[in-house]
Structure 1
Amino acid sequence: MNHREEVTCKILTEKVKKGVSWQQVADLIGKSKEWTTAGCLGQMTFTSEQAEKIGELFDLDENDVAWLQVVPYKGSLPESVPTDPLIYRFYELVNVYGTTIKSLIHEEFGDGIMSAIDFSMDIQRENNPAGDRVNIVLSGKFLPYKSY
């Protein structure tokens, strides 16, 4: 385990101990709950000001706060098929609908990709009498492949 993973473990431990929600952390630093959560889980880089606030909230030391400001290694999933049921459903979704999504994006935009860098995500509860639904909106800039 690298030190950034240790900082993530400290954050998660303190989050549970203090009963803090991701929305509360996001409100503290002025960012979306989605981006803030990704950052606290080790996938984004915080500014000095953001890292200090997170450090105070989660009782992190100055070394931990410094690690929150280091560009992380991206990719939080294991290299094999994920076993967590919720994460596996996203794997399954891409496995089943990936070629459909790719085909429809190429038909609409041309040959290219959806950016995960120039990107936003919104996760909301959608009330439904048949059972509440998870509404996830992923919005990424289209980046066309260039000829050269």
Structure 2
Amino acid sequence: MTTRAELTEKIIAHKTFTGVKWTDVAKEVGQSKEWVTAALVGQLSMTREQVEKAGNALGLKFSDEEMALLMMVPYRGSIPTQVPADPLIYRLYEVVAVYGTTMKALIEEEFGDGIMSAIDFTMDISRTEDPKGDRVKVILDGKFLPYKMY
């Protein structure tokens, strides 16, 4: 029995070996590179058709078991440690640790008491050239969900 973590490692290893880009897989699947990457690393579920298209783009033939794993609703937030050791992921945590209360205060001032949805949500990651060194631009776009009184 293959685990979801093992399947993720297989996908990433194959992608690395073949040089296929997430953007190429996303074009074949017909979704954003951010959504397809999240699905293939185990954070979102795909339809059978999306799995087949992703497999074609990657040059992988998924077994029925692997297809089922990619179609299952995942356990989200599956970083193996409470504070991630990976430097890039840790820096994203650092952004929230330093600026989270600021983001919260500004969102609540603009919208009121509520949250930004990670369900009705889009993300865009791009590169911006800068003479001092290229910049990573991350746009998080989530629907505002107010807390209800009852």
TM-score w.r.t. the length of structure 2 is 0.93
Per the alignment, residue 55 of structure 2 pairs with 55
Distance 2:64 2:14 in 1: 16
| Deviation of 1:61 (Å) | 1.5
2:85 maps to 1:83: yes
- Per-residue Cα deviation, 1:106-137 (whole angstroms, up to 9, x for no partner): 00000000000000000010011111100110
In structure 1, the residue matched to 2:144 is: 142
Question: Within the alignment, does 1:35 sit opposite 2:35 as a pair?
Answer: yes
Maintained 8 Å contact 2:43/2:77? yes
* Residue 133 (str. 1) matches residue 128 (str. 2): no
Q: Corresponding residue for 1:101?
A: 103
Which of 64, 68, 71 is residue 70 of structure 2 equivalent to? 68
2:71 aligned counterpart, secondary structure: coil
Post-superposition CA distance 1:25-71 (Å, at most 9, x none): 10110110000000000001111101112234323212111211111
Cα offset, 1:2, TM superposition: 6.7
TM-fit CA distance, 1:4: 1.5
CA distance in structure 2 between the partners assigned to 1:100 and 1:79 by the alignment: 25
Determine what percentage of the aligned residue pairs are the same residue.
57
Aligned equivalent of 1:119: 121
- Counterpart CA distance in 2 for 1:49 and 1:20 is 19
Question: What is the distance in 1 between the residues matched to 2:102 and 2:80?
Answer: 25
Gaps of 5+ in 2: none
2: CA distance, partners of 1:79 / 1:103: 28
- Report how far residue 85 of structure 1 moved: 1.0
| Structure-1 residue corresponding to 2:17 | 17
- How many residue pairs were aligned? 148
User: Using the alignment, how far apart are the partners of 1:73 and 1:2 within structure 2?
Assistant: 16
Quote the Cα distance in structure 1 between the aligned partners of 2:41 and 2:78.
8
- Deviation larger for 79-88 or 94-103: 79-88
Secondary structure, aligned partner of 1:68: helix
- 4+ residue runs over 6 A deviation: none
